[in-house]
Amino acid sequence: MAKVADCTYNSCVRENLLLELAKMIPRRKTRQINVGGVLIGGNAPVSIQSMTSTYTYDIDATVAQIRALAKAGCDIVRVAVPEKRDTDALPAILDQSPVPIVADVHFHFERALEAVEAGVHKIRLNPGNIQDRKQVDRVIAACRDRGIPIRVGVNEGSVVERKDKQLRAAQQSDLQVDRRTHLIRLMVEILEDYMRIFDDNKFHDVVISAKSIDAGMVIDAYRAISERFDLPLHLGVTHAGPPETGRIRSIAALGSLLSMGVGDTIRISYAADPVFEVDDGKELLCSLGMRNRLEPELIACPTCGRIEIDLIKLTADVKKKLVGIKTPVKVAIMGCVVNGPGEAEGADVAIFAGKGKGIIYVQGEQTCTVSEDDMLEALHREVVAFAQRVERGEVQLGQRDVTITPPDPLPRKDGTIPLPTIRN
């Protein structure tokens, strides 16, 4: 048998490695808080957060977006409350929201008190943005009375002193020597100042964050604060940009931290529809073995010079077609019968395409050969049928570890490609 080059993409192997990694890496122990029934920290699963992009006073639009986020898998949704009309809308929003709501307060302590009164499940504020300490104490007291946690955070862009010119000059001279180290030191010091306020008020239901636009900085900052505090950590990259670039920054930073056992709740933030944030957050946690999949998982080869069908279009079409199936069937779409079978090991339903045709396998059993035109419908049919068998308890997901030996890649004399043989 001719030796063929290994396919460069092996998602199964990668995923198994990540799962093993996730099992091996202990989560850093933190205090636990309760946000409207969703636990954050301690041994609670890492939760996914997002934020609405609507005007909160527009109740219908905000509720519609909260529902879309919850449907996508978001555990907690934050809404901005810059104005009184926003906090006025909170009771109606809370009545209709399927998930806990966080009120994001910026400068006005009154908005925090109104949000607490409305019954929100968490407040996000920075004590440094509220000038009068007594006002901060009032917000903390109100949250304590209602058992509402508070998130406080620091951002790279706001840690350097702005008002005290002498202090600012000293900090900037430090930053010129070693920007990252000094920024992280400032972040930790500001969080320490905030924590003193909470300690003075005997308030401990606090989540902290330390964001930056730079993935490496985010990793170092969170590592530093995780060593300094035992509080639950809200992970995020600030102003990450559109999904095309923000995705790389966010996954690099959050994936690294979660792999180290650091992080209790995440928000991936994009300049786009926030549902994308939730989709990617969910995929990140599933890939790290930190969240169970609730829907099919798609594996597809990246295509190469051996490809003989329009696999990229087929993959996009299959992805859309599988929406709504609530069983985490592993589905593989492979562009050839040469390397494809090896790459699709572990898939419950797989198609191997070649010369305008596709061979479909269900847990290692060849079920049919279809033309390129019929691939989408046939694959969908097989996935649905397999999912129903799983739901009826007739088969288990990933039950059969199938080894498929690739055939000789050279076509036979009549031009056909030999079918792969299967070993169970």
Residues that bind ligand SF4 (CB under 6 A): 7, 301-304, 306-307, 334-336, 338-340, 343
Identity of residue 373: D
Kindly state the smallest distance separating residue 333's Cβ from ligand SF4, in Å. 9
Taking the least distance from each CB to ligand SF4, the nearer of 127 and 340 is 340
Closest distance to ligand SF4 from the beta carbon of 313 (Å): 14
In the complex, least distance from residue 344 CB atom to ligand SF4, rounded to whole angstroms: 8
User: Residue 7 Cβ, how far from ligand SF4 at the closest point, in Å?
Assistant: 3
The whole-angstrom separation of Cα 175 and Cα 399 is 56
Give min distance, CB of 1 to ligand SF4, in A. 15
What is the side-by-side order of every strand in the sheet holding 206-211?
Answer: 206-211, 150-155, 122-124, 101-104, 76-80, 47-51, 265-266, 234-235
In the complex with ligand SF4, the residue whose CB is nearer, 277 or 297, is 297
We find the least distance from the C-beta atom of residue 327 to ligand SF4, in angstroms, to be 25
Q: By C-beta, is 328 or 342 nearer to ligand SF4?
A: 342
Tokens (6 digits) for 127: 């004590």
- Residue among 312 and 384 whose Cβ is closer to ligand SF4: 312
Q: Which is nearer to ligand SF4, 53 or 303 (CB)?
A: 303
Which residue, 259 or 303, is less far from ligand SF4 as judged by CB? 303
The CA angle 202-205-207, to the nearest 5 degrees, is 125
- The residue among 6 and 193 lying less far from ligand SF4, judged by its C-beta, is 6
Q: Which is nearer to ligand SF4, 181 or 421 (CB)?
A: 421
Whole-number Å distance between alpha carbons of 22 and 28: 13
Letter for the amino acid at 219? I
CB closer to ligand SF4 out of 96 and 303: 303
Task: Report the alpha-carbon distance of residue 66 to residue 53 in Å, rounded.
Answer: 10
Q: Which is nearer to ligand SF4, 7 or 233 (CB)?
A: 7
In this structure, the number of other CB atoms found within 10 A of the CB of residue 405 comes to 11
Question: Smallest distance, Å, CB 283 to ligand SF4?
Answer: 21
How far is 375 from 112, CA to CA, in rounded Å? 55
For residue 311, the minimal CB distance to ligand SF4 (Å) is 7
Report in angstroms how near the CB of residue 309 gets to ligand SF4 at its nearest: 9
Q: At its nearest, how many Å lie between ligand SF4 and the CB of residue 175?
A: 47
Q: How far is CA 321 from CA 112, 180, 383, 416, in A?
A: 44, 46, 10, 30
